[in-house]
Structure 1
């Protein structure tokens, strides 16, 4: 998760060091969602007066094999308070490919084209509920995986019991509440346009990472 108290000093140091461009990994809707730290970080970057591109990403698929790995592997569940809202999940391998393209493009014309849009929305090609994601896990892992859809208080309590720090849990609640209210289902075409291919599907992601949950 983005930590404003660590990133702002780093940004100021980057400016003093003469950094000429910033590509910031942000989240979908960060320009409007004041709850998440990405909003304040984007505003801080704008104040630096350094050319910048914001990669506003949907929910990382890889959160499911990191933050939520133990819930899936040991408890056969997707445990997040997202209600029945849909999310346009993104594979971080696609995000990396976009960042590399923006940072390494060498021709002046290509640079101008990439930077003409200061922010890119990076999503998958379809928005899914977590119940639908659980069905994909069930099929690939060949065992039942359930989406439990906990209440927000239950989610906070159990995440704290698992040892996650409170500020981290609150940011997670903010992100999942966005999904819960139907604000995470944007499907954008930016990856297709930037990489000339479709984004990695969540089915392929689960297949590629399935050993994480066995």
Structure 2
């Protein structure tokens, strides 16, 4: 049997459907998460060297996800990647972010630079903005206050369903040699303003949802105070949303179809599927 693919962040937004997709394709997989809840998986923590051997041994291909709380990747992630290389990992598929090649301060960009010089082969997945951010990070704002607060101005954002990103990742990990040195940017079908997003949510939920731009500093305060983010995560989240107001988050690609052979899901289909995230109890 071929060596398993190590999937970090295996319980996350992309990791969970990726593990399922790899299993459906018959690809051996070793799910890794901090709690190691999968019966076929391992407990893994980038900051805990004791967890590294059981994760990396016998693995040649790694799906790499940066935990949101890690901002200093050189200190908190690179040592584990050095150990992965020493133990035989040869190819890394990095879940990066759209714009990492243009915004060098992003932690994802720093990981990309390190991997380019690491001696391991690599593939970068730079998805656009996840639909699922609205059903997780911003779910309470929408559910409890009928509002979306992000500093995107009137700019457009290329949304993508994380399930489509997982499908792209599965295809790459199934045959990593075909994607060596490639950077794919999976996006959905539409680049939407947040006013349009609010309109679609309003139509599906049957109540008015509004979009308000609190500005850069206002959003940073909102992220820290109301969303409970620590400072590094709040900075990263602010930068990602601010790219929309600068006009650099709207770029659409055909990469989902090119890699998987099928069209990406629409934003409305995502809202229909996930509507329970924003419905009020008893409504």
Interval of TM-score (by shorter of Structure 1 and Structure 2): over 0.9
Q: For each residue in 1:164-188, what CA deviation from the matched residue of structure 2 results, as whole angstroms up to 9, or x when unmatched? A: 1111110011111111100000010
Unaligned runs of 5+ in 2: 1-67
SS class of match (1:24):
strand
> Which of 1 and 2 has higher RCO (CA within 8 Å, sep 6+)?
1
Equivalent in 223, 232, 236 of residue 171 of structure 1: 236
Equivalent in 129, 135, 142 of residue 72 of structure 1: 142
C-alpha displacement of 1:112 = 4.5
**1:18 aligns to what?**
88
SS class of match (2:88):
coil
The TM-score, its normalising length taken from structure 2, stands at 0.71
**1:207 aligns to what?**
272
CA contact (8 A) 2:69 2:232 kept: no
Q: For each residue in 1:116-174, what CA deviation from the matched residue of structure 2 results, as whole angstroms up to 9, or x when unmatched? A: x6100111122110110111100111111100111111111122112211111100111
CA contact (8 A) 1:78 1:145 kept: yes
Superposition map of 1:10-159 within 5 A: 10-105=80-175, 112-115=177-180, 118-159=182-223
Higher share in helix: 1
Number of aligned positions between the proteins: 208
SS class of match (1:122):
coil
Using the alignment, how far apart are the partners of 2:243 and 2:217 within structure 1? 16
Using the alignment, how far apart are the partners of 2:90 and 2:177 within structure 1? 15
Unaligned runs of 5+ in 1: 106-110
